[in-house]
Amino acid sequence: MTTTVGVLALQGDVREHVAALTAVGARGVPVRRTSELDAVDALVLPGGESTTIDKLLRAFDLFGPVQQRLRDGMPAYGSCAGMILLADRVLDGTADQQTLGGLDVTVRRNAFGRQVDSFETDLSIEGIEGEPVHAVFIRAPWVEQVGPAARVLGRVEGGHAAGRIVAVRQGPLLVTSFHPEVTGDTRVHRLFVEMVRGDR
């Protein structure tokens, strides 16, 4: 039976995530309405601007339904802004910013700096075998604190941000600070789909 994974299609690299999910054997579909949300087994929250996605979720009447699906145990993967949206706590957010929550972490917005401070590096990610994952960081957050229920899967290994947490899993939730959908390496998406299927 095919696993159907929705990609929140309000902002960000929607087509790239759908293509990566398709490449690893899932059925990737855009999600903009509650009826589309109801039809998926899991959800990807792509990058973009977290405060804008928060407002769009509310404008499209999706905030409550997505939050309820997460509370009911729906698997979700958040990259960059998606990491912020799944975090229980956010540093340097706007006064009215809300998150969907579910992940027992504290995330710092734009932690690596502005757009000009975007960078790429290779990471070892727990659960992903083979060569290191080439990670692209674009105005990325990092995880400042991890609660007891969450598990760190990856940290930056060198440079000014050495040791910073950039990949975390908690039960059916997976987050990364970086954008795997832009590199052609589908191993993060494969890991997530295996989580959705109960193989991880």
Please pick, among 17, 179, 189, 194, the residue that the annotation labels catalytic: 179
Q: Which residue has the tokens 């309820």?
A: 68
179 annotated active-site? yes
181 annotated active-site? yes
Q: What is d(CA 70, CA 181) in angstroms, rounded to the nearest whole number? A: 22
Please pick, among 134, 144, 157, 181, the residue that the annotation labels catalytic: 181
Neighbours of 180 (CB within 10 A): 28
Please pick, among 16, 17, 80, 189, the residue that the annotation labels catalytic: 80
Q: What is d(CA 97, CA 89) in angstroms, rounded to the nearest whole number? A: 11
144 annotated active-site? no
Task: Quote the DSSP letter at residue 128.
Answer: -
The string over 79-118, giving b where at least 16 C-beta atoms fall within 10 Å of a residue's C-beta and e elsewhere, is bbbbbbbbbbbbeebeeeebbbebbbbebbbbbbeeeeee
Which residues belong to the active site? 80, 179, 181
